[in-house]
Amino acid sequence: MVRAAILSAVGAPLEIAGIELPAPGPGRVRVRLAAAGVCHSDLSLSNGTMRIPLPAVLGHEGAGTVVSVGEGVTHVAPGDGVVLNWAPSCGTCPACALGEVWLCDSALAGAAGVHARTADGTDLHPGLNVGAFAEETVVAANCVLPLPAGVPLTDAALLGCAVLTGYGAVHHAARVREGESVVVLGVGGVGLAVLQSARIAGAGPVVAVDVSPEKEALARAAGATEYVVASDTTAKDIRRLTGGRGADVAVECVGRAATIRTAWDSTRRGGRTTVVGIGGKDQQVTFNALELFHWGRTLSGCVYGNSDPSKDLPVLAEHIRAGRFDLSALVTERIGLDGIPAAFENMLAGRGGRALVVF
């Protein structure tokens, strides 16, 4: 029996309770969690913005140590440090065949399965495949990636979502070039990863935007050269800070219609807006036909940073070892499982960066 945070129904409070995990069967791996990040996607799952089978153990950003493996698992062994991959690719679907593994048709197929049970025998699903808000979990073998050498195990949890997403948004989705100006809207865990990645790309100026004035120090430490408190004049403020033209690239990390529209309005003619934030179906963004022609801007979505974790993790590990990327700088709070609801409230209020559940 291990402790876990269980979501029984949409909108219900998380319940911290014991769960029973089976021994890993063929192609499965049991992992003892070292840490799990509290991501805005977990909040979106709990409030119904995103739907998963319930009841479920939430948490999808994690790292830990292999406890045991099932038949056929050869790429990791008991005692190995691993990063959890919530969106594993199948390698055979049309998206994978095109090399777009982040759009794999079956990436979330495992979320429909049963990976644990409560003490009274109720079946539990693994939230976004991995169920990381638990002391231990059992996942498919393709959901675990060997921890790169020289990366701290606890902070490595952030690689499982925030860092891959933020790094990929800059280097894969937006394809930021050296010397380009970048504006980042939303300075949470992903936004901080975007700022660090923009710095690595050699961007400048790098403008951070958030509703909270208190986040300025966090943003500047991550690589922002300018900071703007969000208001009705944000787009004008961005143009003023970028020579009157607007930013070359805007990365939206909030997932709200108004913020997406502001990101679009903040870019120059021919600029690029990449939307990372996950919004609800009620968030409608509108454009008129003339402005689409006149501005010649590009608006694109971004899933998991358009990343291939197997290729991107070694690159990120080199940045971490060289001191170019600081994982710990994303973490503003280290908590236990009982602290997750308060971390959700902080996200809703726009406070802090990433809360990290440390086991």
- In single-letter form, the type of residue at position 166 comes to G
| C-alpha to C-alpha distance for 142 and 87, rounded to whole angstroms | 9
Nearest Cα to 272, choosing from 356, 170, 353? Answer: 170
Instruction: Using DSSP, state whether 331 is helix, strand or coil.
Output: strand
R_g (Cα) of the chain, nearest Å: 20
Of the candidate CATH numbers 3.40.50.720, 3.40.630.30, 1.20.1250.20, 1.10.287.70, the domain formed by 166-303 belongs to 3.40.50.720
Q: Report the Cα 144 to chain-centroid distance in Å.
A: 16
pLDDT of residue 50: 84
Query: In angstroms, what CA-CA distances link 95 with 90, 91, 104, 179, 312?
Result: 10, 8, 5, 32, 18
Q: Which of 30-34, 143-147, 157-161, 351-355 has the lowest mean pLDDT?
A: 351-355
**Per-residue pLDDT at 353 exceeds 90:** no
Measured CA to CA, the distance from residue 179 to residue 181 in angstroms comes to 7
Per the prediction, the chain carries an average pLDDT of 95
Residue 133, pLDDT score? 97
Distance separating alpha carbons of residues 195 and 162, to the nearest angstrom: 12
Is 344 in contact with 43 (CB distance < 8 Å)? Answer: yes
Q: What is the mean pLDDT of residues 226-250?
A: 97
Alpha helix positions (H), 207-306: 216-222, 234-241, 257-265, 289-295
Q: What is the mean pLDDT of residues 249-263?
A: 97
Region 195-207 average pLDDT = 98
| pLDDT tens profile 100-128 | 999 999 999 888 899 999 999 999 999 99
Would you kindly state where each structural domain of the chain is located, as residue ranges? 2-160+326-358, 166-303
Q: How far apart are CA 253 and CA 191, in angstroms?
A: 6
How far is it, in rounded angstroms, from Cα 84 to Cα 157?
A: 8
Q: What is the pLDDT of residue 262?
A: 98
The highest-level CATH class for domain 2-160+326-358 is alpha beta
For 289, the 3-state DSSP assignment is: helix
- Tokens, residue 241: 């800070």
- Of the ranges 17-21, 129-133, 331-335, 352-356, which one carries the lowest mean pLDDT score? 352-356
pLDDT in the model for residue 341:
93
Report percent pLDDT > 70 for the chain: 100
- Tell me the C-alpha distance between 342 and 345, whole Å: 5
Kindly report the pTM of this predicted structure: 0.94
The band of 31, judged by pLDDT with boundaries at 50, 70 and 90, is very high
Place 49 in a pLDDT band, splitting at 50, 70 and 90: confident
Tokens representing residue 83 in the block? 């990063």
Q: Does 135 score more than 90 pLDDT?
A: yes
Please state the separation of Cα 355 from the chain's center in Å.
Answer: 12
The reported pLDDT for the residue numbered 61 is 96
